[in-house]
Amino acid sequence: MLVGMTLEDLVRLRRARDVMDRDYARPLDVPALARVALMSPGHFSRSFRAAFGETPYNYLMTRRVERAKALLRRGDMNVTEVCLAVGSTSLGSFSSRFTELVGETPSAYRARRHEAGAAIPACVAKIRTRPVRIGEAKSAAAS
């Protein structure tokens, strides 16, 4: 168990993470998520990072980019529609984060072919297509 964290704390953090997984398209912020976890915003942010290895904001944006990738692969929505569908309110911020995590712009991702992954089961595709920050991918490859 993490130092200074009780099992009850971990359960509450998991509850907040489940809200992000389920309601990623809703406006979610640290104070709202902290209320779900029954913690102060500062304590929630520190505890979430200690438990899951990333900030609540980064976790939420990764979920949004994962969903955006799926919507862009379908090809029936433009980038702005996808941006709004996944809960982002700024096209510029969404595009910057998408590019940071995926390594290409949302438009470039949407434009390229995605048939190679069509036969992969959804549970495997989720892991294989999970966005990873470019710096993390390079350091993992070097290990």
Q: Mean pLDDT in each 10-residue stretch from start to end of the chain (143 residues)?
A: 80 96 94 96 95 94 92 91 94 93 92 68 60 58 53
pLDDT value of residue 74: 86
Give me 95's structure tokens. Answer: 């595009």
| pLDDT given for residue 112 in this prediction | 85
Distance of CA 122 to the CA centre of its chain: 17
The ranges assigned to domains in the chain are: 7-53, 58-142
Secondary structure letter of residue 24 according to DSSP: T
Q: Given this model, what pLDDT does residue 126 score? A: 59
DSSP 103: S
State residue 88's pLDDT score. 92
pLDDT given for residue 30 in this prediction:
96
Give the span between the Cα atoms of 2 and 21, in whole angstroms.
22
Cα-Cα end-to-end distance for the chain = 26
Statement: 58-142 belongs to CATH 1.20.120? no
The total of other beta-carbon atoms located within 10 Å of residue 33's CB is 24
What does the alpha-carbon distance between residue 64 and residue 83 come to, in Å, rounded to a whole number? Answer: 9
pLDDT at 11: 95
Chain-centroid distance of CA 72 in Å reads 15
pTM here? 0.76
Residue appearing with tokens 């990623």: 24
- Look at residue 48 in the predicted model and tell me its pLDDT: 96
